[in-house]
Amino acid sequence: MNLTKLVCDTELFRGISAAEADSLVVRLNAVSRTYAKGETVVHAGQKADRLMAVTSGSLLVYEHTGERPVLVRELGRNSVLGLWIMYVRDVEFWPGAVVAAEKTTLVSFSIERMRELSANSDPTLARIAVNAAKIISREMFSTWRKLMVMDAPSIEAKIKIYLSELDNETGRTGTVRVPFDRERMAEYFGVTRPALSRAIGAMRDHGLLEWRKDVFRINF
């Protein structure tokens, strides 16, 4: 797909005309790349010099604070990786790893060039800044949801909180699609896969939820 079209389709560039986007593609050194499922997009400790917008697919973000990486966030279409790094200048390297959860296409931009345009009060960047604020707000909510899940006293409580919050985000229909397979879901909750399967099975037996593959119907 044409790079300018990809850029215009991202939430970060919403409200930017094709002509403006065409100019920004050059000025921000924009490039696109597609990653296969399981391919590493960012290594922990890698130089943080690119802002990355997800145009299709999804990413898994891991934090490296202990002996093993911990899954902390999932980033779907229209998410942006590195926005906070752009605003925090003393962060030079990625603190964790990012892996493609499925076939995923990203458009990336030079963080330094984005900063330069912002410093020059480029009017186009003002619109991008508004879009960035909305994305950061959404990502902060995702982080808050993760903290709630981790603080829950039982696996069943973790499941209820997680599915309820996903349901709230999608209009409270009672049906949600989980962006993880069971192995990733267990990893996200910080439990073993067998323990998660037992908890889900018990909740099904008590009429609290139903599921088919990655789609859950909640009854609590």
List the chain domain ranges.
3-135, 152-218
Question: Count of CB atoms within 10 A of residue 60's CB?
Answer: 24
pLDDT of 33 over the 90 cut: yes
Name the pTM for this structure. Answer: 0.70
- At residue 65 the predicted structure's pLDDT band, cuts being 50, 70 and 90, is low
Q: Which CATH number fits domain 152-218: 2.60.40.4070, 1.10.10.10, 3.40.50.300, 3.20.190.10?
A: 1.10.10.10
Strongest mean pLDDT among 33-47, 69-83, 114-128, 141-155: 33-47
Query: Residue 201, exposed/middle/buried by CB under 10 A (0-12, 13-18, 19+)?
Result: exposed
Q: What is the mean pLDDT of residues 48-64?
A: 90
Q: What is the CATH number of domain 3-135?
A: 2.60.120.10
Question: What region does 158 belong to: left with phi over 0, alpha with psi -120 to 50, or beta?
Answer: alpha
Kindly state the helix (H) or strand (E) to which residue 34 belongs, with its residue range.
Answer: strand 31-35
Q: What is the mean pLDDT of residues 91-117?
A: 89
pLDDT of 98 over the 70 cut: yes
Question: What region does 124 belong to: left with phi over 0, alpha with psi -120 to 50, or beta?
Answer: alpha
